Structure 1
Amino acid sequence: MPQFSIAHRTYRTKGDAKETIRAILYSYPVGSRVEDEEHHLLLLDLLDMHPHAEVKIGSGVEAFAIAPPQRGPYPGFRVIRTDGTYIDFSYLECLQPRTYRQQVLNVMGDEVKQTKTDYFESRRAAGTLCSDSSGQLLDTTNTAVSYFQGPSFIEIATEFAESLGGWEAIELTSSAEKGVGRFVDRDLAQRWFAHHQSRAVFGLLTQQESLRLPRR
């Protein structure tokens, strides 16, 4: 049976995902902020699917709010950025087929995911499982490896893509549309791995600290 996903969330159809988002939209009055933690996290992952996500995110996402209608009678979502600016976005645009940039980012993340696991294991072996932000002691069920101390993953990936001339220069296997593809050129995959290693600055946070970081 066909399925539709928003990050780790799986829906029976795209229509089911749309109804879930509409329920969030109409559960708040116009002008109010989205306060529910799970609603906020879903909208963060949804915004990442927007074809112009980088423009919408800008300096980073501080919060979401319900925007007044722009055309017609229907409200929408508004991104409140960390620099105090804001911009509206269409959730329907987010539900369109993923752009090639989004497909490449999915694959890039999969190509380097082991580095985050290795970092966590090194911290556990050293006996330093504590939040690098609050100092809170961590356990394996409440730990997130985060880029919060350096450039974000998207910034690192964008640097690499731009050094090649753009996202289209990275050829993916045919399974990339599902977010589980691979680099066709394995030498290029190794170059990406090395670039990521040279730029990534990991740290440990609690899961809630990580989830509430401004999205970049």
Structure 2
Amino acid sequence: MAKAQSVEIAGHQFPRKTDALAFLKVMLNRYRPGDTVGAEDRVFLMEALKRHPEAATKIGSGVKGFEIRSADYGTQCFWILRVDGSDERFSYKSCI
């Protein structure tokens, strides 16, 4: 059996990747579509986003904030709000 891989994001140490994913899922579900992500969660999400395989493209001109929007099949997802007014969704799972 493979050894659990720990993950550190924004000073939070997670013993396993699944723990980090669960943390982000709880964060996502604290909000409703149309909500802007709060300041503390914004800091964490920014650090998580830097781990995304397409981080430079996703960050683009810079991140102004994050918002929650409806996604497929009645779910919701994080959206990046950029300083240039553009926006793009991203998968928190890809950040882990």
Larger Rg: 1
Which runs of no fewer than 5 residues in structure 2 stay unpaired?
none
List 4+ stretches of structure 1 deviating above 4 A: none
**Residue equivalent to 1:50:** 52
State TM-score, norm by structure 2. 0.88
Which runs of no fewer than 5 residues in structure 1 stay unpaired?
96-216
Structure 2 CA distance for aligned equivalents of residues 7 and 38 of structure 1? 10
**Residue equivalent to 2:64:** 62
Kindly state the Cα deviation for residue 72 of structure 1 after the two structures are TM-superposed.
Answer: 2.1
**Residue equivalent to 1:16:** 19
**Residue equivalent to 2:33:** 30
- 1:30-179, aligned counterparts within 5 Å? 30-35=33-38, 37-69=39-71, 71-95=72-96
Structure 1 CA distance for aligned equivalents of residues 60 and 21 of structure 2? 25
* Greater fraction of residues in strand: 2
Structure 2: which amino acid aligns with 1:45? E
- The CA RMSD measured in Å over matched residues stands at 1.4
Q: How many residues get paired?
A: 93
Cα deviation code 1:112-171 (max 9, x no counterpart): xxxxxxxxxxxxxxxxxxxxxxxxxxxxxxxxxxxxxxxxxxxxxxxxxxxxxxxxxxxx
Structure 2 CA distance for aligned equivalents of residues 50 and 82 of structure 1? 19
Kindly state the Cα deviation for residue 55 of structure 1 after the two structures are TM-superposed.
Answer: 0.8
Kindly state the Cα deviation for residue 4 of structure 1 after the two structures are TM-superposed.
Answer: 1.8
Structure 2 CA distance for aligned equivalents of residues 44 and 4 of structure 1? 15
In percent, how many aligned pairs have the same letter? 33
